[in-house]
Every structure is written in structure tokens, then in C-alpha cells.
């Protein structure tokens, strides 16, 4: 196994989560919606998982909806609001495509972002103020932490503006990249809906968590057996949900110490690279960024070439998002931030997490410095 | 050697990768993402990337995708559209080879430390007695692609490999079947990859440029009809000119773009004694001198056309006049023209047909 610096893409599962889910892949296979004793055992585990998730998020258990992942949560919030309430959806330009493409799909409004990649609060206010009674804004979706550059949105300010200028709108946040680094109890009370993805915090892929606050009605995306209080039909992914709850609990319990540890690693990574090569832009100042993300732009480089050399050196990182073919697309986030192509073509995201070690940072620094030197030769 | 093989998802490049691997090279496969728009024919659809990736997995080689769509737009699509506006024939596949496969890709391969770039083209690179690399026709006459890769000079030939050039197409497919490659029976791609079968060239161009109506006239200038889109008319064309049947067959003999006029005439009016060729790239610079002494060559002017005898008159370092041994149908300006040696085995040079060439007075 090489040096894994792509935690923002996916994290290794936490051992505690694997241990917790294993019985439910094997002996405890009943459908929790069943009416027999065996089913009730699965139901109990599911209910306990929901309580645990609610406690770490700071919401009521009945407000927790288990989904298939972050993308489903984002789709549910935006499409569900517009289908139920009509009106207009709003999001900033640097959102994940799971939000951005939904908003574009329903002909919503995209708001500018500032130079650190978070929503431009003045532009948000302008858009909300300009809405008409015929075309009211019914959902505003603003990510808590940007998935590419790691910038942290001041959600308190966002909530203040939305409550003042669009008091009837549903405020949703894609908090997928926040879970590891931000106490979600500080975000959940500010919003009406929130989406998480389990595999970004040591849980399994294919499971997500959504918070939908009591009294906030969204049209379901998936109809069927009426699970999750009619908000999300489909047999529960029992083992996945149990692992998710456990992973979230461990993440929550270790967040403070991990934040301190990973910040040091991240800062050393960036400082040592910058000490050894010129023409490096630290895309977002550290004070605006979560500990897990180091986003750098190398002038005059092409990230496909850089990633290939890092891959050859067993250092696993990423640049922007990939399209269906697997090709790198120019980053819409960096474009929205106003970063010139001569810099953004050489973008590199190094994302750290709960398994990242000092030794990995050493290997990464040496591989990156050598790759950059080769490409600039 | 460390070889980067361009894998389109077709059978030729799949077998090319397999041959390199079998020969003991360190092989990495790459699929270039070139066209970002709609396509149903193309080289870069997601399912073709899937095929390339699955073949690479089967061969146990790494597979990458490089996004060169900006370069493709700039060097292939935009010139293709502009050529139609200017009334000249575009060569999108040749321009893609020139600018993408053997420039952008090989430049990146060098940067990444590869020793060579390989493709699945049916052509061979052989060293002659004097040590010159010769871009030689592929072993399969019917599939030879030396014409479309004619632009490679000595330095580029030295960095290029065509691992299936010595095989016939049937042999390539046999190898693919033996290896159990999923691309073994995949049909050859025929069309321009960014033009969809459903919409065709007309829709593609119509979305990008305004079509100009044009009058169709006889060679004496008398009106003969009208066409809706001058940009879609090609020299030698017979159909779609809005002229009544009966009488001798009428061909487009001239597309007069500045005056929006299409001139039609009988087949004899299409014949020429010579054609001027510009933007010549010499496979080996020594051939320029040799041709100044004896100018005999064979000339191929379309991807699968026959090579015909001619004599070359050198006009400058990158331009020449071809005097046909027998009058030939006029070659549309913009068309790629490739010179071969007199025994038709390897490429000497290639270039672009110029705007005019004098008509044959008596046929």
C-alpha cells in the first residue's frame, strides 16, 4: 500500500465500524421492517444507530433519514423542495456537482463565490432580495466545507441572511466534507436539512445520512414501502447503517485530537513542499480551511502529468473531479474562485485523514518535489 | 523500453498493447479524451474508454485517461469548421494525428519519461541501408494507414512504434480472439468521431456556422440551379445540386467561395495535369535533394486511394508541383497529398493541395 493522500475522495473504514457491521452481514440478516423476533433484533440495532447519529449531529432521532450517500441527500433536498414547494433553488458556484447539477436541472440561480471558494454573502443576499412572490426562493443549499479546496463556509452568516431575506426557504447544507473536522452540533441547528456521506468519515460506501428537520417537508425521491417515515423507501442497509453510526461516533469522539494532529501533518507537508520548489500557490489560506486538505497549484504544470508521476511513486492524490470517462475536467471550483488556468491546470489536492502518518508525509514531500522538478526540467 | 500506447478502445490498439507487453516492454495504456460533445460514432465515448480500460486490465497494464479536449477543439474541430467556411477540404483525422497523437501525447510521454509512443495504426517503421527510418506501408494493403500518419519526420519516427503494422487485419483479430480481448470483433471506426451518425455533418456545421445559399452555374456562366449550403458542396460531387436529370452527367468542377457560386460541368472538366502542394513535411530531409535530381514518385491523395505515377518539381523547401503522368481528377484544395517512393513501399513526404491547378485543355 502506498501513501494515501486522498481522504477527501474516500477514507479507509474504521476498524470499529467494520467490527460493528460484521454480524449484520452474516447471522443478523433479517429485514428490520419484519414483524418477527428476528426482525425486531435488526430493528433494535437500527434504532440504536439512529439515536447515536442524532446525538452526534445534535438533532432528534426522528429527523435522521438514512440514504445511499451524499449525492442522494443533495438531490433529495433540492429536487424534493422544488417538487413539493415549486419556486427557485439557489446555490453557490463552487458546490459539489451533486448540488450544482440539481440546481441547474431545475433552472435555479447560481450565486458567486469569493476568492477562498465560499459563498459571496453579498451576492447571496442580493439574489434572495431580488426574488419575487411569483418566483419565491424555496431552497438554498450551501456546502459547509468545500470538497476540492477545503474552505469552511461561515454557516452562521449564511443562516442569518437566509432567515432574514428568504424566511420560508429550506436551508440545506452539504456537510459531506465537514464531518471529520467540524462539530456538526454547531451546524445542524442552523439549517433545515443536512447531508452526509459515510465513506468520507470511515464508514462504508453506499450509505449516507440526511437530517430533515421536523415540519420541513420534502417530496421523496424514492417511493415504495414507506421506510424512513415515508421519506425514503427501500429496505434498510442495516449493516451499512450500523457501521455508519459507529464511524460517526468514533469520528466525533476523536475529532479534537485528530484536528490537532492532522493540522500539524498538513502544515508540515505544505511547508516542506514550498521550501523546496518555487511557483506554488496555497490556494486557500490555512485559517479558512479544514485540517485535512492541502490544496496547491503549481505554476506551469499539468495535473494529469503530475498525478501520473505521483501514482508511479505510489503517492495517491487527486486534482479536480473526473468525468464519466475518467478524464480530469477543469475545476469549476477554481474557475469560480477566479484562479487563472495557468495556475489551476497544475492543481493538486492532498487530503489527509485518520490513518495519515508522519512517514507518509515524508514520502509525499519527496515524491512531489521530485515529480515537479521532472516536469519543470 | 517504457512505452505509452494510445488505446482508443478498438481492436488494433488493443492488440498493439498486447504485442508490446508480449515483447517484454514496460507498457502503460492511455485513452485520450478528445471530443467532449455528443457523439455516437466516436473514438472517445465512455463505452470506448471502458473497452480500453478492460483490455488494459486483462493485459495487466496501467491505463490512464488524458483530457486533451481543449487541444482537440483548437487543432481539429475549429479548423474543420473553418475549412468548410473557406471552401477547402478538411482532414480531421490527419490533423488529430499531427497535433494530438504525435505531438501533444508524445510531448507528454517524453515529459513523463517514456521511451516511445505506440498506436494501433497499420503502418511500419523500418530502417533502410543508409540508416534512415522509413514510414513503410502496413502489411495489409487494404488497411494501410501510412497516408494518415505521413507527417512523422525522422525524430518523430524514432519515438514512435506501430506494433500491428506487420500484421493483416485478419491476423490482428485472430490475436485478439486468442487473447480473449473483448474488442476482438468490434467493428472498425469509419467516420469522423465528432460527427454523429444521426445528425451528420450538416447538423454539426449548421449548429456552428450560418450556411450560405449559392447559385449553381454552367461553365459558360449560365444559371443551372441553386444550393442551400455552399459549405456542404465538394469538388467532384454529383448529387444534391438541384439540377434536372437527363443529358450528360454533371459534376461540381469549381466551388467559388468568395462569390458563392458552384460551377458544374462534365467529367472531363475535372481533369488536371498538375497540382501544387504546400506545407510539405519531409520524412527525411535527404529526400528533398534526391527528388531534385530525379523527381519520379507515386502519389496518393486520399486515405484509401491508389497511388499514381507523377513527377515532382520542387518549388521551395516546403512546396512542390506534381506533374501527373496521366491527367488526374482535380484534387480538392485542402486535401492531404502524400508522396511515396517509386516502388510504393514508403512515404517520402506529404502536404496540402493548393487552391488552383490549371485545367487540362484537351482530354
Question: What are the sequence ranges of the domains in chain A?
Answer: 3-11+255-376, 15-251
pLDDT tens readout for residues A132-175:
999 999 999 999 999 999 999 999 999 999 999 999 999 999 99
Q: Does the structure show a pLDDT above 90 at B22?
A: yes
CA distance A56 to A182: 11
CA distance A21 to A205: 13
CA distance A71 to A42: 26
Q: Does the structure show a pLDDT above 80 at B125?
A: yes
CA distance A186 to A200: 19
pLDDT tens readout for residues A338-351:
999 999 999 999 99
Q: What is the mean pLDDT of residues B314-323?
A: 93
Q: Which residues of chain B from 99 to 128 reach within 8 Å of chain A, CB to CB?
A: 108, 111-113
**Which residues of B fall within a CB distance of 8 Å from A319?**
none
The alpha carbon of residue B67 is apart from the nearest alpha carbon of chain A, in Å, by 5
Out of B46, B111, B113, the one facing A325 most closely (by C-beta) is: B46
Q: Does the structure show a pLDDT above 60 at B256?
A: yes
CA distance B135 to B284: 10
CA distance A341 to A56: 40
Q: How confident is the model at residue B363 (pLDDT cuts 50, 70, 90)?
A: very low
Rounded alpha-carbon distances, angstroms, from residue A349 to A143, A354, B330: 18, 17, 56
Q: Is the dihedral of CA A372, A377, B2, B8 positive or negative?
A: positive
pTM: 0.91
Out of A324, A329, A375, the one facing B111 most closely (by C-beta) is: A375
A313 vs B: CB within 8 A: no
pLDDT tens readout for residues A263-322:
999 999 999 999 999 999 999 999 999 999 999 999 999 999 999 999 999 999 998 766
| Residue among B32, B11, B4 at smallest CA distance from B118 | B4
B53 vs A: CB within 8 A: yes
Q: Does the structure show a pLDDT above 60 at B13?
A: yes
Contact A207, A65 (CB under 8 A): no
| Residue among B58, B60, B1, B67 at smallest CA distance from B30 | B67
Contact A325 B31 (CB under 8 A): yes
Question: How confident is the model at residue B39, as a pLDDT?
Answer: 60
For cell 489560506, the residue is A285
pLDDT > 70 fraction of chain A, expressed in percent and rounded: 99
A302 vs B: CB within 8 A: yes
Q: Does the structure show a pLDDT above 90 at A181?
A: yes
Q: Does the structure show a pLDDT above 70 at B362?
A: no
| Residue among A183, A179, A198, A141 at smallest CA distance from A292 | A179
DSSP string over B2-30: EEEEE--SSHHHHHHHHHHHHTT-EEEEE
pLDDT tens readout for residues A48-76:
999 999 999 999 999 999 999 999 999 99
pLDDT tens readout for residues B207-238:
999 999 999 999 999 998 899 999 999 998 98
Rounded alpha-carbon distances, angstroms, from residue B141 to B134, B170, B255, B344: 17, 12, 33, 11
Q: DSSP 3-state assignment of B331?
A: coil
Out of B46, B62, B66, the one facing A324 most closely (by C-beta) is: B46
Whole-number CA gyration radius for chain B: 22
Out of A302, A308, A325, the one facing B33 most closely (by C-beta) is: A325
For cell 433479517, the residue is A30
B44 vs A: CB within 8 A: yes
pLDDT tens readout for residues A197-238:
999 999 999 999 999 999 999 999 999 999 999 999 999 999
pLDDT > 90 fraction of chain A, expressed in percent and rounded: 96
| Residue among A169, A30, A47, A94 at smallest CA distance from A320 | A94
**Which residues of B fall within a CB distance of 8 Å from A302?**
108
CA distance A212 to A67: 12
Contact B117, A310 (CB under 8 A): no
What are the residue numbers of the active site of A?
323
Contact B112 A305 (CB under 8 A): yes
Query: For an interface test with A, which of B33, B62, B113 has the most A Cβ atoms less than 10 Å from its Cβ?
Result: B33
| Residue among B151, B189, B190, B144 at smallest CA distance from B165 | B144
Q: How confident is the model at residue B239 (pLDDT cuts 50, 70, 90)?
A: confident
Q: What is the mean pLDDT of residues B84-103?
A: 95
CATH code given to domain A15-251: 3.40.640.10
Q: Does the structure show a pLDDT above 80 at B360?
A: no
| Residue among B212, B182, B196, B241 at smallest CA distance from B87 | B212
**Which residues of A fall within a CB distance of 8 Å from B113?**
374
- B66: nearest CA partner in chain A: A327
Q: DSSP 3-state assignment of B221?
A: coil
Is B193 a known active-site residue?
yes
Question: How confident is the model at residue B241, as a pLDDT?
Answer: 79
Query: For an interface test with B, which of A305, A306, A308, A346 has the most B Cβ atoms less than 10 Å from its Cβ?
Result: A308
For cell 460541368, the residue is B265
The alpha carbon of residue B110 is apart from the nearest alpha carbon of chain A, in Å, by 10
Rounded alpha-carbon distances, angstroms, from residue B345 to A321, B28, B219, B342: 47, 31, 40, 8
The alpha carbon of residue B68 is apart from the nearest alpha carbon of chain A, in Å, by 9
CA distance A3 to A350: 11
B8 vs A: CB within 8 A: no
Q: How confident is the model at residue B317 (pLDDT cuts 50, 70, 90)?
A: confident
| Residue among A189, A323, A240, A192 at smallest CA distance from A42 | A240
Contact A223, A100 (CB under 8 A): no
DSSP string over A269-323: HHHHHHHH-SSEEESS-GGGB-TTEEEEEETT--HHHHHHHHHHTTEE-B-S-B-
Kindly report the backbone phi and psi dihedral angles of residue B298, in degrees, each rounded to the nearest multiple of 5, phi listed first. Answer: -115, 145
- A326: nearest CA partner in chain B: B65
Q: Does the structure show a pLDDT above 90 at B36?
A: no
- Domains located in chain B, CATH noted: 2-178 (3.40.50.620), 210-265 (2.30.30), 270-353 (2.40.30.10)
Q: Does the structure show a pLDDT above 60 at B307?
A: yes
- A377: nearest CA partner in chain B: B111
Q: Does the structure show a pLDDT above 90 at B12?
A: yes
Q: Are strands A137-141 and A88-92 parallel, antiparallel or unpaired?
A: parallel
Question: How confident is the model at residue A213, as a pLDDT?
Answer: 98
CA distance B298 to A63: 79
pLDDT tens readout for residues B146-188:
999 999 999 999 999 999 999 999 999 999 999 999 999 998 8
Out of A308, A324, A374, the one facing B64 most closely (by C-beta) is: A308
pLDDT tens readout for residues B258-292:
999 999 999 999 999 999 999 999 999 999 888 88
Across chain B, mean pLDDT equals 92
Q: What's the ipTM?
A: 0.88
Q: Which residues of chain B from 328 to 357 reach within 8 Å of chain A, CB to CB?
A: none
Record the cell numbers describing residue A202, joined without a space: 470511515
Q: Which CATH number fits the domain A3-11+255-376, given the four candidates 3.90.1150.10, 3.40.50.1110, 3.30.360.10, 3.30.70.1520?
A: 3.90.1150.10
Q: Does the structure show a pLDDT above 70 at A251?
A: yes
Amino acid at each position: 500500500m502506498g501513501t494515501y493522500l486522498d481522504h477527501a475522495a474516500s477514507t479507509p473504514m474504521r476498524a470499529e465500524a467494520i467490527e460493528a457491521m460484521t454480524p449484520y452481514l452474516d447471522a443478523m440478516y433479517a429485514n428490520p421492517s419484519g414483524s418477527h423476533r428476528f426482525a425486531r433484533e435488526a430493528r433494535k440495532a437500527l434504532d440504536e444507530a439512529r439515536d447515536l447519529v442524532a446525538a452526534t449531529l445534535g438533532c432528534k432521532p426522528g429527523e435522521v433519514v438514512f440514504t445511499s450517500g451524499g449525492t442522494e441527500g443533495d438531490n433529495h433536498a433540492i429536487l424534493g423542495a422544488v417538487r413539493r414547494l415549486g419556486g427557485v433553488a439557489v446555490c453557490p458556484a463552487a458546490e459539489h456537482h451533486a448540488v450544482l447539477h440539481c440546481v441547474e436541472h431545475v433552472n435555479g440561480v447560481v450565486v458567486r463565490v469569493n476568492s477562498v471558494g465560499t459563498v459571496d454573502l453579498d451576492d447571496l443576499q442580493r439574489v434572495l432580495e431580488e426574488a419575487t412572490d411569483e418566483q419565491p426562493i424555496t431552497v438554498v443549499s450551501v456546502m459547509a466545507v468545500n470538497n476540492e479546496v477545503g474552505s469552511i463556509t461561515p454557516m452562521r452568516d449564511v443562516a442569518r441572511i437566509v432567515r432574514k431575506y428568504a424566511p420560508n426557504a429550506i436551508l440545506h447544507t452539504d456537510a459531506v466534507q465537514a464531518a471529520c473536522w467540524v462539530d456538526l452540533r454547531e451546524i445542524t441547528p442552523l439549517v433545515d436539512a443536512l447531508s452526509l456521506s459515510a465513506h468520507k468519515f470511515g464508514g462504508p460506501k453506499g450509505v449516507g445520512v440526511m437530517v430533515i428537520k421536523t415540519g420541513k417537508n420534502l417530496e421523496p425521491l424514492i417511493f415504495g414501502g414507506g421506510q424512513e417515515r415515508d421519506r425514503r423507501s427501500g429496505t434498510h442497509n442495516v449493516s451499512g447503517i450500523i457501521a455508519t453510526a459507529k464511524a460517526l461516533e468514533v469520528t466525533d469522539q476523536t475529532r479534537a485530537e485528530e484536528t490537532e494532529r492532522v493540522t500539524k501533518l498538513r502544515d508540515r507537508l505544505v511547508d516542506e513542499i514550498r521550501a523546496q520548489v518555487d511557483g506554488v500557490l496555497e490556494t486557500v489560506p490555512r485559517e479558512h480551511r479544514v485540517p485535512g486538505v492541502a490544496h496547491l497549484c503549481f505554476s506551469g504544470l499539468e495535473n494529469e502529468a503530475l498525478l501520473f508521476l505521483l501514482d508511479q511513486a505510489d503517492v495517491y492524490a487527486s486534482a479536480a473531479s473526473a468525468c464519466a470517462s475518467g478524464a480530469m475536467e477543469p475545476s469549476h471550483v477554481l474557475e469560480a474562485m477566479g484562479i487563472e488556468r495557468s495556475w489551476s491546470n497544475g492543481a493538486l489536492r492532498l487530503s489527509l485523514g485518520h490513518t495519515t502518518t508522519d512517514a507518509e508525509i515524508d514520502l509525499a514531500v519527496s515524491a512531489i518535489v521530485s515529480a515537479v522538478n521532472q516536469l519543470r526540467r | 523500453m517504457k512505452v505509452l500506447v494510445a488505446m482508443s478502445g478498438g481492436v488494433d490498439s488493443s492488440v498493439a498493447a498486447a504485442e508490446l507487453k508480449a515483447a517484454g516492454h514496460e507498457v502503460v495504456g492511455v485513452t485520450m479524451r478528445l471530443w467532449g460533445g455528443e457523439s455516437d460514432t466516436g473514438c472517445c465515448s465512455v463505452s470506448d474508454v471502458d473497452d480500453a480500460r478492460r483490455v488494459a486490465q486483462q493485459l495487466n497494464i496501467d491505463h490512464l485517461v488524458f483530457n486533451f479536449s481543449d487541444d482537440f477543439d483548437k487543432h481539429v474541430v475549429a479548423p474543420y469548421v473553418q475549412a468548410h467556411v473557406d471552401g477547402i477540404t478538411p482532414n480531421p483525422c490527419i490533423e488529430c494525428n499531427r497535433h494530438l497523437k504525435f505531438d501533444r501525447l508524445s510531448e507528454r510521454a517524453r515529459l513523463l519519461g517514456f521511451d516511445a509512443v505506440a498506436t494501433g495504426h497499420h503502418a511500419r517503421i523500418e530502417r533502410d541501408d543508409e540508416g534512415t527510418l522509413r514510414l513503410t506501408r502496413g502489411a495489409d494493403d487494404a488497411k494501410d494507414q501510412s497516408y494518415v500518419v505521413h507527417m512523422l519526420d525522422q525524430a518523430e519516427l524514432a519515438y514512435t512504434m506501430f506494433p500491428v503494422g506487420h500484421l493483416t487485419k485478419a491476423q490482428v483479430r485472430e490475436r485478439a480472439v486468442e487473447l480473449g480481448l473483448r474488442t476482438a470483433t468490434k467493428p472498425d471506426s469509419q467516420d469522423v468521431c465528432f460527427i454523429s451518425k444521426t445528425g451528420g455533418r450538416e447538423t454539426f456545421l449548421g449548429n456552428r456556422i450560418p450556411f450560405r445559399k449559392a447559385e449553381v452555374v454552367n461553365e459558360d456562366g449560365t444559371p443551372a440551379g441553386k444550393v442551400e449550403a455552399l459549405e456542404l458542396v465538394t469538388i467532384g460531387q454529383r448529387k444534391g445540386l438541384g439540377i434536372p436529370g437527363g443529358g450528360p452527367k454533371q459534376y461540381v468542377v469549381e466551388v467559388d467561395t468568395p462569390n458563392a457560386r458552384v460551377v458544374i460541368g462534365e467529367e472531363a472538366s475535372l481533369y488536371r495535369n498538375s497540382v501544387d502542394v504546400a506545407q510539405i513535411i519531409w520524412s527525411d530531409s535527404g529526400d528533398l535533394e534526391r527528388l531534385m535530381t530525379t523527381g519520379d514518385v507515386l502519389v496518393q491523395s486520399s486515405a484509401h486511394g491508389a497511388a499514381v505515377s507523377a513527377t515532382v518539381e520542387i518549388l521551395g523547401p516546403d512546396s512542390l508541383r506534381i506533374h501527373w503522368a496521366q491527367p488526374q481528377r482535380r484534387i480538392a484544395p485542402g486535401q492531404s497529398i502524400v508522396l511515396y517512393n517509386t516502388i510504393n513501399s514508403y512515404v517520402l513526404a506529404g502536404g496540402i493541395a493548393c487552391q488552383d491547378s490549371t485545367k487540362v485543355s484537351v482530354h
